[in-house]
């Protein structure tokens, strides 16, 4: 039996969201929080599918989203993570605060892919294009040259002398030593197999442990006043008096956790909403 559609197709609007719809959705989320997306359209007075509401919120309306193109550091990180994780965009996005999986996926397809091609790197394998072609022709060969294979294509394969060697970053491609994976620690024994596999890599291991990224990350998400101002300014032509409604409930419940009190105060001041709490 097929799965039921997430909503009644009849009478459900599709296509670009209007400012009015955005306003309704944000107002609802800020008032009620994120709950039962299927019920959201009805309760918010929207003729939209619940799924559509969720996507609109997570990909566009969330106040903690960054705007604009990925910067160089973010791009580099995406490439590095993609080399290890493959097309697991949500996992990649989870390590880039303020970025969505959709945004990263789009950026990958429109910008990074081309860049890598120009650099002579196969975006699928992260190997030099020439080598990739050769590998495709000789896929049965059991060479032991370090390969960068998206993890999604490498699932259920445990590392070992008779198997594929671990995924590595572009930077590490020349210095990789398969023997590195043999070391272990007490902590690593509690990790899933995949995590143990990557235990020597602080970046990848933090993904498995759901930790915050280590300090080696070049970026630290500190939303600037400018970014946050532009979010509100670009979302609607006018200031948003309805935002006042949100002062009566926990602002930290609605995705503002990344801002400290001073920053929130600054934002509200910039919106001429001075007397908040």
Partner DNA sequence: AAGCTTGCCAACCGCCCACCA
Partner DNA sequence: ATGGTGGGCGGTTGGCAAGCT
Q: Which of 1, 10, 216, 262 binds DNA (CB under 7 A)?
A: 1
Q: Is 101 a residue that touches DNA (CB under 7 A)?
A: yes
- Across-strand partners of 128? 121
Closest Cα partner for 113 from 98, 132, 126, 95?
Answer: 126
Of the pair 3, 143, the CB lying nearest DNA is at 3
Q: Is 107 a residue that touches DNA (CB under 7 A)?
A: yes
Query: Considering only 86-94, 159-167, 195-203, 222-230, which stretch makes contact with DNA by CB under 7 A?
Result: 86-94
Q: Is 43 a residue that touches DNA (CB under 7 A)?
A: no
Closest Cα partner for 103 from 70, 61, 77?
Answer: 70
* Min dist. Cβ of residue 211 to DNA (A): 17
SS3 content of the chain, % helix, strand, coil (to 5): 50, 0, 50
Q: Is 209 a residue that touches DNA (CB under 7 A)?
A: no
Residue 210: left if φ>0, alpha if ψ -120 to 50, beta else—which one? left
Query: Considering only 95-103, 163-171, 175-183, 250-258, which stretch makes contact with DNA by CB under 7 A?
Result: 95-103
Tokens of 184: 């272990």
Q: Is 38 a residue that touches DNA (CB under 7 A)?
A: yes
Q: Is 217 a residue that touches DNA (CB under 7 A)?
A: no
Q: Who contacts 75 (Cβ-Cβ below 8 Å, separation ≥6)?
A: 107, 111, 112
Q: Which residues bind DNA (CB under 7 A)?
A: 1-4, 6, 13-17, 35-38, 48-52, 54-56, 58-60, 69, 87-91, 101-103, 105-107, 109-111, 114
């Amino acid at each position: 039996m097929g799965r039921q559609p997430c909503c009644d197709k009849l009478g459900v609007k599709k296509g670009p969201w209007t400012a009015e719809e955005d306003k309704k959705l944000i107002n609802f989320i800020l008032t009620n929080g994120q709950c039962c997306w299927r019920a959201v359209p009805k309760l918010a007075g929207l003729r939209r599918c619940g799924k559509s509401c969720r996507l609109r919120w997570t990909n566009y309306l969330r106040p903690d989203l960054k705007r604009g193109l990925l910067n160089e550091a973010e791009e580099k990180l995406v490439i590095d993570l993609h080399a290890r994780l493959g097309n697991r965009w949500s996992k990649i996005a989870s390590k880039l605060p303020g970025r969505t999986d959709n945004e990263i996926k789009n950026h990958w397809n429109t910008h990074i892919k081309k860049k890598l091609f120009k650099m002579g790197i196969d975006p699928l394998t992260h190997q030099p294009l020439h080598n990739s072609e050769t590998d495709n022709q000789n896929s049965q060969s059991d060479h032991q040259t370090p390969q960068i294979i998206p993890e999604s294509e490498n699932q259920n394969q445990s590392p070992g002398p008779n198997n594929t060697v671990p995924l590595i970053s572009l930077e590490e491609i020349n210095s990789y030593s398969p023997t590195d994976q043999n070391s272990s620690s007490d902590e690593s024994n509690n990790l899933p197999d995949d995590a143990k596999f990557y235990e020597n890599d602080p970046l990848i291991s933090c993904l498995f442990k759901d930790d915050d990224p280590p300090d080696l990350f070049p970026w630290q998400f500190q939303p600037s006043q400018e970014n946050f101002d532009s979010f509100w300014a670009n979302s609607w032509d006018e200031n948003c008096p309805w935002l006042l409604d949100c002062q009566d409930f926990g602002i930290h419940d609605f995705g503002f956790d990344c801002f400290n009190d001073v920053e929130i105060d600054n934002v509200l001041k910039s919106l001429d909403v001075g007397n908040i709490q």
